[in-house]
Every structure is written in structure tokens, then in C-alpha cells.
Amino acid sequence: MLLLAILVGCWWLLNKSSFSLDGGSQRLERPILVASGHPEWSPIMWQRGDEIIGVGPELVTKIFDQLGIDVSSEYAGTWDVVQKKAKSGEIDVLVAAYKTSERETYMDYSDAYTVDPVALFVKKGQSFTYNNWDDLVGRNGVATIGDSYGQQFDDFLKTSLTVERVVTAQEAFEKVLAGQADYFVYALYSGQKAIADNNYSEQIEILPKYVAQENFYITISKKSPYNKYLPQVNELIKQYQKDGTIIKLIKKYQDQILSGSIDLGNN
């Protein structure tokens, strides 16, 4: 019995750092996953101070909480910088991303959890007929650095279009308003929010036909220890699609943005 007591005591001393006190009871400390996302892509993800908020961060937090893992959704820089950090393994999870062949080399993709329309924003009074991508050939466009608009359109953009890349949506809109670009290609919902934020509603219009409608996925860095949870992540995405959780999250953030009841931070 004395030997057993000694062994138990030694085990407790070796493992006590894995416990924390919570209301007088002991519990195992949960691992913390580092997530991030695009700082200007509401309502799915955007920057507020030093964090990323929106549908994507809340969904990722909800999913990994079910798996016993805490999530820290951190602002980690511009979208191109965030992707580089996911590639290096500094960031475990991107809360939302389009699928491209280049990104698939360093991240594992979940099942899609929502669809994101991509639109063309033009200066009022200077709209043009747009039926397909060929209608953009010969025109000057602008887009934000690091953004994808789906693999097929990305490939077409590189080979057939003249598009300048800038850091922020505001810079892009300024290019359009100054006549330095004929159109700004951007996510519909994020563009609508940027128009409202900058009082551009009397100066900018949106062409009726979308450039694309792309799926949003949760991605996990191939260098992250959490990519082993991808099957469970997919099961929970299916569950939250079926029970309406994801639709409710989208509506929640859209309503808060439109009503002005949410802190939009630095976006």
C-alpha cells in the first residue's frame, strides 16, 4: 500500500501542470487552436481590433468546442499575410476560404459550408454590358491583394484581363471613382458593407450579373496537428447545415451589420 501511495503521489506531481482549478474542482486544460481570416470579408469574417469576428470564426469556435478544443480567432494581417502564416503552420485554421489548387498544396479543405457571390462594382453612370467574362477583356479592373474569385476566374484573370491589385477595398473603390479602373471585382456582401461604411451608395453601383458564386470552406494547415480532426469537422458542418445553425449565423451577422448594432472595428 505504501508503494502504491508513493506511485500515485509521483504521478500527480508529474501531471499536475495539466490541471487547473475551476470553482474548487479540477479539469484538464484544453488545447488552443489559432484561427484567422480575411480582415474585410463580412459577414463571414472581418477585423475588429486584434481579432477576427463573423460567421466563420463563430462556426469554427462552435465546431472545435464540440471536439474539446478552444479557439483563438486572431487578426494576423492582410489576407495574403494570413495565407502565408497558414502555409508555415503559424496559423492552424482559416475560418473561410475559396478553393484553389495553390492553396490545396498547403491546406486541407473541409466540406463547403456556404456560398459567396462575387460581383462587379462600377462608378454610377459608367456601367457597361456584362454577360460573361469576355466582356471584361480590354477593360481596366482592380482587385484586392491575395483574394481569389474561384480557380476558373483566377486563371482567366491572369491570362486575359488587366487587373491592378491594391491592399484594401476602400483603395479599390477610390480607383473606380477616380476613373483609374472600370470595375472592382469583389465579394458581394463585403462590397455592400464597404459601400455603406464609406457613403458610396450614390457613387457606386453593382452590375446585376455575378462574376462567380464560390463556396466557402474551413481550411486547416497541413502543418497543424488539428488537421486530423477534419472528418469530425465535416460531420459537424453537415449537422449545422441540416439544423439551420449556419443560416442563422449568417442572418445574425447580416442583421447586426445592417442595423449598425455591431462594432465594425477597423474594417
For 129-185, the pLDDT digits (tens) are 999 999 999 999 999 998 889 899 999 999 999 999 999 999 999 999 999 999 999
β-pairing verdict for 140-144 and 183-187: parallel
What confidence tens digit (pLDDT) does each residue in 175-188 have?
Answer: 999 999 999 999 99
Task: Give me the pLDDT at residue 108, please.
Answer: 98
Helix axes 245-259 and 55-66, enclosed angle (nearest 10) = 140
What confidence tens digit (pLDDT) does each residue in 93-113 have?
Answer: 999 999 999 999 999 999 999
pLDDT at position 251 over 60: yes
Grid cell in block for residue 167 = 491592399
Task: Give me the pLDDT at residue 261, please.
Answer: 58
Q: Which residue has the cell 470564426?
A: 57
Beta-sheet strands, E only, within 75-173: 93-97, 107-123, 140-144, 162-166
pLDDT at position 242 over 90: yes
Q: Which residue has the cell 502564416?
A: 85
CATH H-level superfamily of 116-213: Periplasmic binding protein-like II (3.40.190.10)
What average pLDDT does the chain have? 88
* CA distance linking residue 191 with residue 129, whole number of Å: 20
pLDDT at position 238 over 50: yes
Find out whether 59 and 218 touch, Cβ atoms under 8 Å.
yes
Find out whether 191 and 149 touch, Cβ atoms under 8 Å.
no
pLDDT at position 212 over 90: yes
Say how far residue 25 (Cα) sits from the centre of its chain: 37
Q: What are the beta bridge partners of residue 94?
A: 36, 219
Task: Give me the pLDDT at residue 262, please.
Answer: 60
pLDDT band, very low/low/confident/very high, at 263 (cuts 50, 70, 90):
low
Find out whether 118 and 212 touch, Cβ atoms under 8 Å.
yes
Residues 10-15, mean pLDDT to the nearest whole number: 44
Is 30-115+215-259 CATH 3.40.190.10? yes
pLDDT at position 4 over 50: no
What confidence tens digit (pLDDT) does each residue in 16-61 have?
Answer: 344 333 444 344 689 999 999 999 898 999 999 999 999 999 999 9
Say how far residue 193 (Cα) sits from the centre of its chain: 15
Residues in contact with 212: Cβ distance below 8 Å, sequence separation at least 6, in sequence order: 117, 118, 149, 150, 152, 153
CA angle 240, 242, 243 (to 5 degrees): 65
Grid cell in block for residue 5 = 501511495
Q: Positive or negative CA dihedral for 234, 236, 238, 241?
A: negative
Start-end of CATH 3.40.190.10 domains in the chain: 30-115+215-259, 116-213
Find out whether 74 and 52 touch, Cβ atoms under 8 Å.
yes
pLDDT band, very low/low/confident/very high, at 124 (cuts 50, 70, 90):
very high
The more confidently predicted of residues 33 and 11 is: 33
